[in-house]
Structure 1
């Protein structure tokens, strides 16, 4: 069976954001910069454990590879922070006024009614990124594993 015909990809793509996988990958990306800095002192031990526990992948991470992944870890942190904030701010559109981000919704996308603005942002911003984030996380964590080097043993 190929990946495109397997049940997990074709029949369960809409469940992906609600599984543990994207949240484990998010936790990995959040902790990766710290692990990269710690790799200088511990030789990559924390990175190996982190990748094993959260990604289910063995990596060779040593001092040099640990430091080499630091720029990628920082860029990944910004990307996922922005992506998950888009999900939260668009699905929870009414909360924007509580945190001082509100404004006139008459001229906002989906306006002139508040319900239209919220529906537009929830569907085209929130749900779109909710379903894109697992794929973005898969790509970013695959780059991390590639830089750190797979463990073949």
Structure 2
């Protein structure tokens, strides 16, 4: 944990040998790491990132690392692939989070909330766009009337910036 109460992802930390030499983690869910410490978490995230696996779960929380380039994992094929699947059954993806929230909203008939947090330039706006894309696609299947209009009305994303007192 960093001094400001947030994780600091520092790839050289692991590259300099503070991780496990010769062994590479690739756990889709950090909760499955056999030993849970900062080095192992960073090593796992780094390993997945270099395999173009930018999403990793920590339980029901999705960690996304901005690749700063386009990855072909946001098309209708992926929306369909993640539709109606339980978290953890497929590789972590933002569409899985959208799907779980969408179907929980329909089943429980209560509002759902997805929090996207990160530093400037970390990809929050892009992640929000991917969520809206997925939610819109799911709502067009006829499960909920008017949901698409509501989702698209969320277009202007409100970014809240906290300053340290």
In terms of fraction of residues, the more strand-rich structure is: 2
Higher-Rg member (1/2): 1
TM-score, normalised via structure 1 length: 0.22
TM-score, normalised via structure 2 length: 0.21
